Amino acid sequence: MEPRWLDDAEFRAWIGYRRMRLLLDAEVSRDLMRDSGLSAPDYDVLSALTSTEDHRWRLTKLADRMLWSKSRLSRHISRMEQRGLVRREEFEGDARGAMIVLTEGGLRAIQEAAPAHVESVRRHFVDLLSPEQIQTLGTIAETVLTHLDPAKGA
């Protein structure tokens, strides 16, 4: 079967997306570290924890959300525990499982980091686009994410 090579417009979009993602992630991550002392993974964990009413996530579910292995996330959580941002609790009924819980220090850290982080996202991304471009990008993201979501068929 002959490969379906990308035409010029498709290649431009694909390479542009890849380069934009790398540069944008790097710039926003640098700003986040400089402004708050949090790494992007720190912020992702804290953001996930603040998205739930009880400020807790099961380690395995959080690893799935971040697309990390359980062991990689566990090591990262250990470093966050040392800094007082989160704590582990046993998962009721499963001695092998762990719940990751947001601490007061973690809540304070993300509340303090969020305004500058949002401003960085605006400065390097959102404010560069028109409302129509934002709408189109949202539609594109939904289309691709629906296709990639491993749980969609479940």
Residues 6+ apart with CB under 8 A from 134: 126
Report the pLDDT averaged over residues 63-79.
94
Amino acid occupying residue 100: I
Report CA-CA distances (Å) from 89 to 23, 86, 94, 100: 37, 10, 11, 6
Report the pLDDT averaged over residues 129-134.
98
Greatest C-alpha distance within the chain: 58
Report the pLDDT averaged over residues 58-75.
93
Residue 150 phi/psi, 5-degree rounding, is: -65, -20
Query: What's the confidence (pLDDT) of residue 27?
Result: 98
Q: Scanning the structure block, which residue is given the tokens 């304070």?
A: 108
Report the pLDDT averaged over residues 110-135.
98
Query: What's the confidence (pLDDT) of residue 97?
Result: 75
The structure's pTM equals 0.88
Residue 91 phi/psi, 5-degree rounding, is: -85, 120
| Percentage of the chain exceeding pLDDT 90 | 88
Coil/strand/helix, residue 74: helix
pLDDT score of 153 more than 80: no
| Percentage of the chain exceeding pLDDT 70 | 94
Residue 94 pLDDT level (bands cut at 50, 70, 90): low
Residue 90 phi/psi, 5-degree rounding, is: -65, 145
Query: What's the confidence (pLDDT) of residue 154?
Result: 35
Report the pLDDT averaged over residues 50-56.
95
What proportions of the chain, in percent to the nearest 5, are helix, strand and coil? 65, 10, 20
